[in-house]
């Protein structure tokens, strides 16, 4: 089997652009998803079931349906309603954010509930409101416990961003498929894409391990 490095070199500028876009999509998805996930997680923890019900169903829907389907629904159904036409990048960011928020909400809920209830009672006894207690006492402690699962979610998001190629978002897999379609080759484009994703996930795992070790020493 001959392996053509020349077509990889030819497509390297496009793969670089695709890699940068993949990182950007993942960063946007994890950032927006973290903000949404915090509010959804807190909403699910409401004592009144009627108030918690919408948040619970949000999590159920986005965790129970494929991201592939979510991207298509948002790309062809949601984005055109607001923009008048569809946009692959916008649709991908929305889909990744909404999907990540469902998983991050559960991470926040588990992290918050892992803190002893006495911490909240102590904060309230000092005159803090519930919101102040969460902000200054509970969340700072829970955040250290949530970093590993949040990091894992970021890694998953990087890999899942490859599904954006189906709506012509020019990330890594989009250019890999373009290379495969132009030259009718399989090994070069898809192995190259796999190596790029592997480098991204290994680099992120390394940084997360450094962060975890640093937090343990504080």
The tokens for 63 are 């965790």
Distances (CA, A) of 139 to 27, 44, 97, 106, 189: 22, 16, 21, 14, 44
CA distance 96 to 53: 23
- At 1 the pLDDT is 61
The 10s digit of each residue's pLDDT in 85-136 is: 999 999 999 999 999 999 999 999 888 888 887 777 787 787 888 778 887 7
The 10s digit of each residue's pLDDT in 146-205 is: 888 998 999 999 999 999 999 999 999 999 999 999 999 999 999 999 999 999 999 999
- At 141 the pLDDT is 80
CA distance 57 to 6: 50
Contact by Cβ (8 Å): 115, 136? no
DSSP 136: I
- At 67 the pLDDT is 96
- At 72 the pLDDT is 96
Helices 139-160 and 187-217 meet at what angle, rounded to 10? 170
Residue 202 burial (CB count, 10 A): 11
- At 119 the pLDDT is 79
Residue with tokens 């992290």: 111
Contact by Cβ (8 Å): 15, 192? yes
Distances (CA, A) of 161 to 62, 88, 116, 143, 168: 16, 12, 37, 25, 12
Statement: 5-217 belongs to CATH 1.10.3720.10: yes
């Amino acid at each position: 089997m001959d392996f053509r490095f020349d077509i990889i070199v030819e497509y390297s500028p496009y793969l670089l652009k695709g890699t940068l876009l993949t990182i950007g999509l993942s960063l946007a998805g994890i950032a927006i998803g973290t903000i949404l996930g915090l509010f959804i997680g807190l909403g699910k923890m409401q004592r009144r079931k009627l108030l918690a019900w919408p948040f619970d169903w949000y999590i159920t829907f986005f965790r129970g349906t494929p991201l592939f389907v979510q991207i298509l629904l948002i790309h062809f159904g949601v984005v055109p309603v607001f923009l008048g036409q569809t946009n692959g990048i916008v649709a991908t960011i929305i889909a990744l954010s909404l999907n990540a928020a469902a998983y991050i909400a559960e991470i926040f809920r588990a992290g918050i509930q892992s803190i002893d209830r006495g911490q909240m009672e102590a904060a309230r006894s000092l005159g803090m409101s519930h919101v102040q207690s969460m902000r200054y006492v509970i969340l700072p402690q829970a955040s250290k416990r949530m970093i590993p699962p949040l990091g894992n979610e970021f890694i998953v998001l990087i890999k899942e961003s490859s599904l954006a190629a189906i709506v012509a978002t020019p990330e890594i897999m989009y250019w890999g498929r373009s290379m495969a379609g132009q030259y009718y080759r399989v090994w070069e484009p898809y192995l190259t894409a796999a190596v790029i994703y592997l480098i991204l996930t290994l680099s992120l795992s390394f940084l997360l391990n450094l962060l975890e070790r640093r937090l343990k020493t504080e």
